[in-house]
Structure 1
């Protein structure tokens, strides 16, 4: 996913007093270097492990993998990715009510590090426990570290603010670009678990940097915005213990019956990921405190949410479906140079670093001429492009039939089209989320935006389980691509209706 635009994180940041310091980081507060390096190493660990995940799951036991079927491996990947974004919602809440952003990020980083080292242990049980740790830790860290960048600039009109976020997000893409090249190579060519261990080392380096450089961070990041009273805390803990106990009893009973398999967990988490977005929207929609205008805007936002869910359903298959295609159906040699299939995972961050400045300039240039597309049109373009990428995949899959290895240029083109679609849809979606948010739920709407990723990944998991190996067929690519393109066409056709629901938001 592309990073959160500066203006979004700035609105979420609290006003604080920056500690004076003579030294700066490229003219910015010293704390920016701490957060830059922390996020870079966290993304290095996250994307490095993700590049190996589905390949390790489906690799036969003779090659050190878990030997799962392709459909199950892809579904586990999709559910893991869904949980990362789902847990960002409680991650922000925990910061606001319990620990504050600084402590929450530190604890999240430590949990991520432990999770990666658990993956490095050659045991199936510890592997899945490790995935759970990484998902929980990522939810804690992801929800709060961007807000801490905003804390470094007490003055909302500080001219350095946008530049600071640009530098910070460069760290995200640098980490994401380097990870498959390093961790992917070691994991694929040397040893899976050594690759996972390298991801843990990366997070450890980020955590050490965060702790050592903590003195340069804003004091605002220590503040618990809305501390939870003891009585409310105890009530919440009792409810959490009840639901956790219920889950343990249920799965324990299934285990005793001898029917417990990984599919039970896949379907349970898939249902959770699909139900929660519906429940959240329904709860907000029924709130009597909302005005008629806010209800209309929320109705308009549902259009964007559904389109985004379809977009992420396809986009997030880069680490699963496309990763397997790269390994099984794509030649790992170009211009006489051999490379591991995990290297394809570095294309998206490379494209983002190259194209993001171009798009930033393009929207400003079009706006000056009065030709800047509306939000709905941009969403439509992004949806059509993500659909077109899978039409390209349909052709590539057809070319690979009969065991032929296709040229790497097919995947290079797919990732390019997807990145252009991402830059058209994702930043705009983040921005419109803040603009259409009811005042009462302004701080929660960003978490709701991440639920679109959760919903999309869960739909992918359902399809992967139902279709099995057929999910990797050219027909499957065609159906998914056409569905996304039709969603884009619908956004364009009904743009006036959506625009009317948006009220004063453009």
Structure 2
């Protein structure tokens, strides 16, 4: 999923070498993001498999899916405070450098074969990814002379390719080493990837815009003191609470997972409610926020199912998919490379189709595209029912998994880029950056629901649950389409 947290720019230094016709700094950010995604998706491809493996942590599938869901939801939850740090404390460039170091340390901790340290490593990677996610995209925007620079959209397209190149290569390299050689060596390779990305970022930072080093709205002394005081109070409360839980012998992993999942549901609702209650918003802005809630809920349902491609589907494939094609065996983690390679192949095609339809005045509306994306993610789980039913105690063809990921990726191309675009268009002026954080919170909400279901003992690989999720998504898509006129009215001049 691409990010687009961009702000108006004063432009980067001009002249000298370019990168595919773009400012030289784009190469630095492209490589940083590619290596960060290489480390992130490589670790993510291994994570659920390591959690259930007897030689790994040996957890049951439900707990593994819950941990995976908490981890992914936390990454996107932390994107908002990550953007806040870039805006108010360190500036985008410094925040990105610190984030890269935190991610690298996190992967090194994952490489230590001790379960307690492993979970600390996950926390480090989540915090680092949240800090980096918002700020690196902001720096891409800084390379151009404002939103009307004709190179800007092309620059983000090139940057998006870096994301998918890293995501494609990671399972093939890190997944192979982790599954076939040693799990912890695979996690160590993720640390090496982030180290390369961080090193070239520090070497190439001189090519970035000077604006990337500026703290846009620094905290004044009073704000800094108040923020520090509040943070320390909440930290103290957490330390005391968990000390009591551990001291009384009642601690289990759920004491961490359940609160995080509840936060993943409560925070998005709280943020949207706070924006909606703002009396400074005009009637038009209020209407757009009301319309945006439709898109937010739809996106949460979409990501709830989509992100199970790395957990529920991966664990199913580990037990029931035939990983041999024409007599050649491959690791289960390789299935995680299917999505990025399809995105790289189909994204240009999708863009051309929308442009061709737009020229004829037949391009579907944003609401219609969203409803199609929801329907497709639901259909992907209806397809999942077929191998799930046929598997029994045997193995199913790997092409079932490829087909499921293909349908999900087409749905992603229909919904995700459109969601990014409509977020920037419908955001009230005073909440421009924060609304992009709200878009990420849709991922948090969706994954939090998955985690809560797993924690409650729901078998997400059960045919009944898969069928129910599939029906929910298709029905949600149908509801969005049925009420498209009402949503369009709320959207005002946004199409």
Aligned to 2:477: 488
Question: Contact 1:44/1:178 (CA < 8 Å) preserved in 2?
Answer: yes
Aligned to 2:29: 35
What is the rounded CA distance, in whole Å, between the counterparts of 2:12 and 2:293 in structure 1? Answer: 38
**Is 1:144 aligned to 2:138, yes or no?**
no
What is the rounded CA distance, in whole Å, between the counterparts of 2:224 and 2:146 in structure 1? Answer: 34
What is the rounded CA distance, in whole Å, between the counterparts of 1:32 and 1:274 in structure 2? Answer: 35
Aligned to 1:404: 394
Change (3 A) 1:309 1:17: closer
**Is 1:474 aligned to 2:468, yes or no?**
no
Question: Contact 1:380/1:487 (CA < 8 Å) preserved in 2?
Answer: yes
SS at match of 1:228: coil
Instruction: Name which of 289, 310, 314 aligns with 1:319.
Output: 310
Q: CA deviation at 1:155?
A: 4.8
**Is 1:45 aligned to 2:36, yes or no?**
no
Question: Normalising to structure 1: TM-score of the pair?
Answer: 0.96
SS at match of 1:258: coil
Aligned to 1:177: 168
What is the rounded CA distance, in whole Å, between the counterparts of 2:168 and 2:12 in structure 1? Answer: 32
Q: CA deviation at 1:335?
A: 2.1
Question: Contact 2:9/2:143 (CA < 8 Å) preserved in 1?
Answer: no
Q: CA deviation at 1:336?
A: 2.0
Question: Normalising to structure 2: TM-score of the pair?
Answer: 0.98
1:188-247: CA deviations, max 9, x gaps? 111110000000000000000000111111111001000100111011111011011101
Superposition map of 1:121-160 within 5 A: 121-160=112-151
Q: CA deviation at 1:68?
A: 1.2
What is the rounded CA distance, in whole Å, between the counterparts of 1:14 and 1:501 in structure 2? Answer: 27
Aligned to 1:107: 98
Q: CA deviation at 1:325?
A: 1.1
Instruction: Name which of 45, 48, 54 aligns with 2:48.
Output: 54
What is the rounded CA distance, in whole Å, between the counterparts of 2:269 and 2:482 in structure 1? Answer: 25
What is the rounded CA distance, in whole Å, between the counterparts of 1:276 and 1:152 in structure 2? Answer: 32
Instruction: Name which of 207, 217, 228 aligns with 2:208.
Output: 217
Aligned to 1:227: 218
For structure 1, list consecutive stretches of 5 or more residues without a partner in the other structure. none
**Is 1:376 aligned to 2:351, yes or no?**
no
**Is 1:504 aligned to 2:493, yes or no?**
yes
1:293-340: CA deviations, max 9, x gaps? 211111111111000000000000111101101111100111222100
What is the rounded CA distance, in whole Å, between the counterparts of 2:248 and 2:130 in structure 1? Answer: 33
1:226-285: CA deviations, max 9, x gaps? 010011101111101101110111111010110101111110101111110111111111
Change (3 A) 1:155 1:484: closer
1:349-395: CA deviations, max 9, x gaps? 00000000000001111111111111111110000000000001111
Superposition map of 1:202-281 within 5 A: 202-281=193-272
Instruction: Name which of 192, 197, 201 aligns with 2:192.
Output: 201
Instruction: Name which of 374, 379, 404 aligns with 1:414.
Output: 404
**Is 1:464 aligned to 2:454, yes or no?**
yes
Question: Contact 2:376/2:407 (CA < 8 Å) preserved in 1?
Answer: yes
CA RMSD of aligned residues (A): 1.1
- Paired residue total: 495
Superposition map of 1:330-369 within 5 A: 330-369=321-360
What is the rounded CA distance, in whole Å, between the counterparts of 1:152 and 1:434 in structure 2? Answer: 19
Question: Contact 2:8/2:146 (CA < 8 Å) preserved in 1?
Answer: no
Question: Contact 1:385/1:421 (CA < 8 Å) preserved in 2?
Answer: yes
Aligned to 2:14: 20
